[in-house]
Amino acid sequence: QKEVEQDPGPLSVPEGAIVSLNCTYSNSAFQYFMWYRQYSRKGPELLMYTYSSGNKEDGRFTAQVDKSSKYISLFIRDSQPSDSATYLCAMMGGNEKLTFGTGTRLTIIP
């Protein structure tokens, strides 16, 4: 069983919709949670970075962490075609090494 599970999609939604992306994990030592966005044939870029449980908002993006359920989410409001990308969750515990999910491919349809 992988330490981090992420539905690979693909996920297609109409422009303007709210998008929900999720990851589950099994390692209770994870304390730092990130979402990376990766455009086709590009490197990942950090989108959101949260510590422990709770919510963090940045513009149209909200990251949510529920440590009791070992579940993290990324919400995208008012989705735009430019949001079309692969979204990777990543987590870190005491060993300070990132463990990535496999990524969810998202397409926003104009």
Partner 1 sequence: NAGVTQTPKFQVLKTGQSMTLQCAQDMNHNSMYWYRQDPGMGLRLIYYSASEGTTDKGEVPNGYNVSRLNKREFSLRLESAAPSQTSVYFCASNLAGGRETQYFGPGTRLLVL
For partner 1, the binding residues (CB under 8 A) are: 4, 6, 8, 32, 41-46, 49, 88, 90, 92, 96-98, 100-103
Rounded distance between C-alpha atoms, residue 72 and residue 55, angstroms: 10
Shortest Cβ distance from residue 100 to partner 1 (Å)?
4
- The residue among 42 and 77 lying less far from partner 1, judged by its C-beta, is 42
**Distance of closest approach, residue 35 Cβ to partner 1, in angstroms:** 12
Least distance in Å: CB of 13 to partner 1? 23
